[in-house]
Structure 1
Amino acid sequence: MYDHFRLRYLTGGAMLFAAMTLAGCDSASMPGFLKSDTAGEEATRNAGGVRGGGTVERDIEAPEIFQATERGLWDGRPSLGGVWVAHPEVTEPERVIIRNQQNGQFVIGALFKRERETPGPVLQVSSDAAAALEMLAGQPAELDVVALRREEATDPDAAAAATVDTADLSAASDVESGALDPVTSGAGAALAPETPAAPEDSAAAPAPAPVETAAAPARPAPQASPLDKPYLQIGIFSVEQNARNTAEAMRQAGLLPAVKKQSSSGKTFWRVIVGPAQSASERSDALTEIKAQGFTDAYAVTD
């Protein structure tokens, strides 16, 4: 694994985060929650999020963008950036599905360009990817890596639920009409419990003084960015806590991170992004700070 993925010692809280995130990467002692499950991999598409109007976002495999079946290796060293693999023929970072052909495990991650040729397997594998794929340090595995693309598709179940059968309505039996009972005036009166009447000789209790409440200040709407790619992706993680630790490190560095939960092909993963930047210079400054924290493979994304 090339040099810029080596663990850096971060100052203050960032150093603590690095220790928490990278501890226990050895697959031999891998906890059960890191083990993936091959159930549900029959389809190469899976809903990633429901949209309005009976449509969903789905991930589709895009081998025309990138596809490689090569031997991959994790050299045993911890790495930052979550789940990723690196290949020498990559031109742009991509989101990919990585399958271990030897045991059927798979995970969603990032694909980067391998910057330095070394003898051995073509694919370099991060420590998080190795854990999810159940790869042992120093032992190559046959991996299949395919690019993913997001698309909107019609959800037949949502469309069916939104359709009203007017024929059934017209066939309904006649409904008897009549006067309704008097409506209680006001929801507060309807919900208030009954209280016994005060005795005639008792003094009327003074009405409580009205309590003045300050109106909460309106929260400003997020400002739309003029950039095509206003966000910076820090990494893709198969363990939520690792993603949140990374976000906390970004927050301590003075950045504004967000953790986005997504799913594809039956797998759930968490993306950590920073942004949106309002200008190219602001995005460049943020990227410089991110790389200074050790995440040298962060790159600009749409969302």
Structure 2
Amino acid sequence: MLWQSYIKGFKAYLKLERALSGNSVDAYLTDLDKLSQYYQSLEIVPKLNEITVEDIKSFISWLNNLGMLSSTQARVISGLKAFFSYLMIEDVIQSDPTSLIEAPKLVRKLPDTLNIYEINSLIDAIDASKPEGMRNKAIIEVMYGCGLRVTELTEMKISNLYPQIEFIKIIGKGNKERLVPIGGVALKLLDIYINQIRLHVNIKKGNEDFIFLNRFGAKLSRISIFNLIKSLANAVGLKKTISPHTLRHSFATHLIEGGADLRAVQEMLGHSSITTTEIYTHIDRDYLREVITQFHPRS
């Protein structure tokens, strides 16, 4: 990668000043590496203060010619904007070549949601007689019942669980903490898993507080959750394309369709902006029609 010393400083800036998670920092650096690859393809190494708006436009054309999706291009541009903004703060450059660059227009494609019958079928497909069965049931119940991101689930800790008041403290993006209600079914499964199954696992040092462990006694990885969801979908013959995030999206959708306040859903999802919550909370036409019929004075 080019410009190593500046990228190292950018990485420290993202971690310390913006308090981003390791995954978010890696995503920014991956986006920045695309610009480095572009210049390597041209066999030139420009100074950062020599990069112009036209250079950035040529880079975007290069991304487009590679067949990169507009959503990915938008993310890369966002990463570049953050990098050049950092360089401005550090007085490395005098003008930002990305300031006039706009991300490509995105078509909002809402992911598939699952109805309650499909979610129940996923849970019913888990063999509770196997050692990991109760753990997996608890995972699905908690992800759907609390609307968690996959990393939030893998990072869940016993010390952050408050069963008496039916809440759990979640560490979200940017290390922001939030308290999320946790339902009775999920709590019951967690209690069985923690006190009857997990109790017999030989836990690796440093993993004692993580709730969900693999058979080797270490906390579950993100990919293991993805594989679990995929295998359950295949087991029940589910034709939808789903991932762990589908459960989070379904959580928000079902709450909104049930009449939950959007601000309350925003708080539970851990969104800093209500606009983000609106994207995740797809509301079907029948529900909208019911709202108009019930509340509009001219309906």
> Which structure is larger by alpha-carbon Rg, 1 or 2?
1
* Larger relative contact order (Cα-Cα within 8 Å, sequence gap ≥ 6): 1
The structure where strand makes up a greater share of residues is 1
* TM exceeding 0.5: no
TM superposition score category, shorter chain reference: under 0.3
The structure where helix makes up a greater share of residues is 2
Normalised to the residue count of structure 2, the TM-score between the two structures is 0.22
